[in-house]
Amino acid sequence: MRAIVPGPLLRLRTALYPLACGLLAASGLLLTQSGLAGAPDPGSAVASSALAVRPSGWRGLAGEISRLARAAGLKTAWQDDDRAINLTVDTTQAFENRQAQLSPSYASLLGEIALMVQARPEIRLIMTGFGNTPATHYNPVLFGLRLKALQVFFAEHGIAIGQIETLIKDADSASGHDMPAGRAAAGRLISLRFVPA
């Protein structure tokens, strides 16, 4: 009886199969650890509370965003005849001291909001940072890093980058966003404005 000898293709596939499986598992782990995998752990509090609330229509979504933000102590305001909801983020509370990393409580809140918005491609997020270079205690580099960190956070949590617009304006224009000019000039305030397309 003649023994079956595997061909070179079968030997190559047999040798590479464990390597390919290992690479796929490692890349999945990296995506999960970096937050780029998109969906949160289904057992997490963020996933369960945001998925339990499935607001319908713009008013329902904006109302739920406003409710979550107010419960966390953020200032909220309806704008443009209820066509936009604006959240005011104080960077001294939202970020670790002198860092561009979100505090855990803010990350949890913004993660819940991102879960609601990610399934709604018609919603735009306009992030506006305010600041003046000559202001006391204003660090333009840190402020820019914090604004970028928010943009990356929302993108990593499922909001398409095309839905996110990031602006930096002079503190004098903060009055139209219902913000105190002194804190805006110091680079302490970021406006998160959710607008239907």
Whether the predicted pLDDT of 175 surpasses 50: yes
- Per DSSP, helices labelled H in 53-176 are 57-71, 91-94, 104-118, 140-156
pLDDT of 142: 82
Whether the predicted pLDDT of 30 surpasses 60: no
113-135 pLDDT, tens per residue?
999 999 888 999 999 887 765 55
pLDDT of 136: 59
Question: Considering only CA atoms, which of 35, 38, 105 is closest in space to residue 68?
Answer: 105
Q: Is the dihedral of CA 29, 33, 37, 43 positive or negative?
A: positive
Q: What six digits make up the tokens of 146?
A: 């914090």
Q: Which residue has the higher pLDDT, 96 or 181?
A: 96
* pTM exceeds cut of 0.85: no
Q: Which of 3-17, 74-88, 180-194 has the lowest mean pLDDT?
A: 3-17
CA–CA gap between residue 131 and residue 45 (Å, rounded): 35
pLDDT of 32: 40
Q: Are 54 and 166 within 8 A, CB to CB?
A: no
pLDDT of 34: 46
136-172 pLDDT, tens per residue?
566 778 888 889 999 999 999 999 999 999 988 766 6
Instruction: Supply the DSSP symbol for 162.
Output: G
The model's confidence at residue 43, banded by pLDDT at 50, 70 and 90, is very low
pLDDT of 1: 55
CA–CA gap between residue 178 and residue 191 (Å, rounded): 10
Q: Which residue has the higher pLDDT, 134 or 192?
A: 192
Whether the predicted pLDDT of 112 surpasses 60: yes
pLDDT of 48: 42
Neighbours of 98 (CB within 10 A): 7
46-92 pLDDT, tens per residue?
444 444 455 678 888 989 999 999 888 888 888 766 788 988 888 88
